[in-house]
Amino acid sequence: MLDGVIRAGTNEWEIPVGYVPGMRVPGRFFLSDALAALLEPGAVQQLANVATLPGIVRCSLGMPDIHWGYGFPIGGVAAFSLDEGVISPGGVGFDINCGVRLFTTPLAQADIKKPREFIESLFHAVPTGVGAKSSLKISPAALTAVMEKGARWAVEAGYGVERDLARCEEGGCMKQADIRAVSAKARARGIPQGGTLGSGNHFLEIQVVSEIYDEIAAKAFGLLKGQICCMIHCGSRGLGHQVCTDHLKTLETATKKYHITLPDRQLACAPIQSPEGKAYFGAMAAAANYAWANRQLIMHAARLQFERMFSIGYESMPLVYDVTHNVAKIEEHTVDGHRVTLCVHRKGATRSFGPGTRDLPGDLATIGQPVIIPGSMGTSSFVLKGTATAMERTFGSTCHGSGRVMSRSQAKKRMTGKEVADHLLAQGIIVRAPNEAAIADEAPEVYKPSSEVVQVVHDAGLSALVARLSPLGVIKG
Amino acid sequence: MSYEELPHTADVKIRACAPTLDALFGEACRALMQVMYGGDRSGGTTRSIDLDAPDQESLFCDFLSEVLYVSEVDGLVFRQADVRLEGMHIHAVLDGEPFDPVRHNKGTEVKGISYSGLSIQKDAKGYMLDILFDV
């Protein structure tokens, strides 16, 4: 482990106050000894930097997929007091409400007789990659409704069913959205991109449920061994990126106005209750709503392809859940025995609400929230459930993925996209992307093993394993 | 004048070098376009950008954020930027062409230009910039 970091338990580490000047609370992260070897000093520095922000409560937290980002580390969680605390776009990221959703089908693997043809049809149904435009024309008035209503806008427009909404974190809509705080530039970027996947690590994947760890929870989530599922990973597209860019600039000025000293400009922030802080929060919520509508539109397009290819009913493909992993939310938590309302930032971290918490659909109230953890291309994804331990220890948060260990330039030097695709095909996994470089960038070897990451959160009790999903076909953005 | 990609696990870190600050801004713009669309880019269509910022680092971030915006919304892929700086004002003329899904699909989307790790240094040979693109 790095100098100055103290072991605080099995798979748990503390960054003491003083590791960087100005820390108000310690840093704490969860990591196995095997994963500790991959930890970057930059990520620890960023976790410590977050601990210097005003109003931070208890500690600056890192999940086991922690890695070097900008502002907050990726895998970072921090909660702030509403009275003295700040809100920071650096704690959310450019891709506001980047998230994951999973829906099931009544199909088994043997039902997919022509997998290549099916993947190809999905690739053409979902606009993918740099510069891809939506066939859907969202009018300026509709865009306003998207930003105010989120997934509900899509369902009301015919792109889904009412039940889908109950299976989204926050019902697929943050009510605090303030469209006045969304610039004309952000809107201009949002109009042509509804229902597009984007690029980078975004994907749409056909998977099979390969293992069940918790029969009761799996049944409640609607997961059966051998069943075909579809996972969608994407965010708020150019609209969200522009909201972050615009407000970062405003908050840079606000940081000086409110005399906040920062170790990194990307942590630009303002008091949550200040006009600048409120404007960012309102715009961020509007972008988060765009992302929920976007995933709803993509799910609809995928469901139509399943319907067409396999003659199955739309309603036989229920949404398991939709989680966000780049967001700031106002939530109630217990701190030192008192119920308090906090602003929880999750940047590359997933909400993991335990049984009995607010915002769970009635039939999941005793189980806990479904937590969806995507694997890297070609490796398993996992479904877990939220826990009481996460509520006590991490403001109801867990990991979000596997975390990169290799840069894109290194990845390209190691293997070409074609070599990666051939290697995956030998394992029965079909990959389709707009270009080969996109495949090389996201080869399985460039990520930490997803199974190790989820084992750490399972062992630490931050979420509990329910099912493993193995990839069959991937569309890369 | 040159630029290269430095190792960074999550994002794309670029180091650009140029004899003058004007040229350094131009190199950073070329690097951004290379990351997003690959190397096959020609000219013929121009756009101009005029911006003010309180300091040099902000001017860099704001300029590249504006290039990102114009490229996405106008559907243009730029080959180069002719930059003129006057204090904390930038005037840039970008030369490019309409996005072609076949020729320009060799890159990855850039979500934003980060202040993290941003540095501009000057030595006897000229200027060097390190900048991080969120991809």
Both tokens of residue A333? 């938590």
Instruction: Mark yes or no for CB contact A438/B108 under 8 Å.
Output: yes
> How do strand B12-18 and strand B126-134 relate by DSSP bridges?
antiparallel
Q: What is the mean pLDDT of residues A58-74?
A: 94
The predicted structure's pLDDT at residue A43: 95
Choosing among A45, A67, A70, which should be mutated to test the B contact, i.e. which has the most B CBs within 10 A?
A70
Per-residue pLDDT at A32 exceeds 90: yes
Q: What is the mean pLDDT of residues A309-317?
A: 97
The predicted structure's pLDDT at residue A411: 83
With contact defined as beta carbons under 8 Å apart, do A126 and A298 qualify? Answer: yes
Instruction: Mark yes or no for CB contact B10/A244 under 8 Å.
Output: no
A124 catalytic? Reply is no
Share of chain A above pLDDT 90, in %: 87
Share of chain A above pLDDT 70, in %: 100
Distance CA A90, CA B33 (A): 24
β partners of residue B113: B133
Per-residue pLDDT at A436 exceeds 90: no
Q: For residue B74, which residues of chain A lie inside 8 Å, CB to CB?
A: none
Per-residue pLDDT at A187 exceeds 90: yes
Q: How confident is the model at residue A445 (pLDDT cuts 50, 70, 90)?
A: confident
Q: List, for residues A227-266, the tens digit of each pLDDT value.
A: 999 999 999 999 999 999 999 999 999 999 999 999 998 8
The predicted structure's pLDDT at residue A378: 82
Per-residue pLDDT at B1 exceeds 80: no
Q: List, for residues A205-226, the tens digit of each pLDDT value.
A: 999 999 999 999 999 999 999 9
The predicted structure's pLDDT at residue A325: 96
Least confident of A109-113, A115-119, A269-273, A432-436: A432-436
The predicted structure's pLDDT at residue A200: 85
Q: What is the mean pLDDT of residues A445-465?
A: 93
Nearest residue to A247 via CA among A263, A270, A229, A230:
A270
Q: How confident is the model at residue A407 (pLDDT cuts 50, 70, 90)?
A: confident
Q: For residue B11, which residues of chain A lie inside 8 Å, CB to CB?
A: 69-70
Per-residue pLDDT at A389 exceeds 80: yes
Per-residue pLDDT at A413 exceeds 90: no
Per-residue pLDDT at A444 exceeds 90: no
Q: Which of A71, A198, A407 sits opposite B7 (nearest CB)?
A: A407
Q: How confident is the model at residue A137 (pLDDT cuts 50, 70, 90)?
A: confident
Which element (helix H / strand E) includes A309? helix A275-310
Distance CA A368, CA A354 (A): 4
The predicted structure's pLDDT at residue B15: 95
Q: Which of A70, A242, A264 sits opposite B134 (nearest CB)?
A: A70
A363 or A411, higher pLDDT: A363
B49 or B106, higher pLDDT: B49
The active-site residue out of A202, A233, A241, A400 is A400
Instruction: Mark yes or no for CB contact A71/B116 under 8 Å.
Output: yes
Instruction: Mark yes or no for CB contact B135/A131 under 8 Å.
Output: no
Residues of B in CB contact (< 8 Å) with A are: 5, 7-12, 36-38, 57-58, 62, 65, 68-69, 72-73, 75, 99, 101, 104-109, 111-118, 132, 134-135
Least confident of A115-124, A302-311, A419-428, B76-85: A419-428
Q: List, for residues A81-96, the tens digit of each pLDDT value.
A: 999 999 999 999 999 9
Distance CA A336, CA A332 (A): 13
| DSSP code, position A85 | -
Q: How confident is the model at residue A164 (pLDDT cuts 50, 70, 90)?
A: very high
Structural domain spans, chain A: 6-87+96-405+447-476
Is residue A396 packed enough to be buried (19+ CB in 10 Å), middle (13-18) or exposed (0-12)? buried
The predicted structure's pLDDT at residue A171: 97
Instruction: Mark yes or no for CB contact A131/B73 under 8 Å.
Output: no
With contact defined as beta carbons under 8 Å apart, do A339 and A159 qualify? Answer: no
The predicted structure's pLDDT at residue A93: 95
Q: List, for residues B83-118, the tens digit of each pLDDT value.
A: 999 999 999 999 999 999 999 988 999 999 998 889
Q: How confident is the model at residue A415 (pLDDT cuts 50, 70, 90)?
A: confident
**C-alpha separations of A138 from A135, A240, A294, A439 in Å:** 9, 16, 12, 31
With contact defined as beta carbons under 8 Å apart, do A79 and A54 qualify? Answer: no
Distance CA B107, CA B35 (A): 5
Q: How confident is the model at residue B6 (pLDDT cuts 50, 70, 90)?
A: confident
Domains of chain B as residue ranges with CATH = 12-134 (3.55.10.10)
Q: Which of A94, A252, A435 sits opposite B111 (nearest CB)?
A: A94
The predicted structure's pLDDT at residue A333: 97
Single-letter code of the amino acid located at A441: D
Q: Average pLDDT, whole number, for chain B?
A: 94
The predicted structure's pLDDT at residue A435: 84
Grouping H, G, I as helix, E, B as strand and the rest as coil, residue A465 is strand
Give domain A6-87+96-405+447-476's CATH architecture.
Alpha-Beta Complex (3.90)
The predicted structure's pLDDT at residue A1: 86
If you measure CA to CA, which chain B residue comes closest to A89?
Answer: B114
The predicted structure's pLDDT at residue A283: 98
Q: For residue B69, which residues of chain A lie inside 8 Å, CB to CB?
A: 185, 189, 242
Nearest residue to B67 via CA among B55, B58, B80:
B80
Instruction: Mark yes or no for CB contact B9/A264 under 8 Å.
Output: no
The predicted structure's pLDDT at residue A253: 93
Whose tokens are 């509804």? That residue is A194
B23 to chain A nearest CA, in Å? 24
Q: For residue B114, which residues of chain A lie inside 8 Å, CB to CB?
A: 70-71, 266
Whose tokens are 């040229």? That residue is B23
Q: What is the mean pLDDT of residues B22-35?
A: 96
Distance CA A103, CA A115 (A): 18
B43 φ, ψ to 5°? -115, -165
Both tokens of residue A134? 């939506």
The predicted structure's pLDDT at residue A133: 85
The predicted structure's pLDDT at residue A7: 96
Q: How confident is the model at residue B131 (pLDDT cuts 50, 70, 90)?
A: very high
Q: For residue B99, which residues of chain A lie inside 8 Å, CB to CB?
A: 131
What is the number of other CB atoms lying within 10 angstroms of the CB of residue A188?
18
Both tokens of residue B7? 């190792």
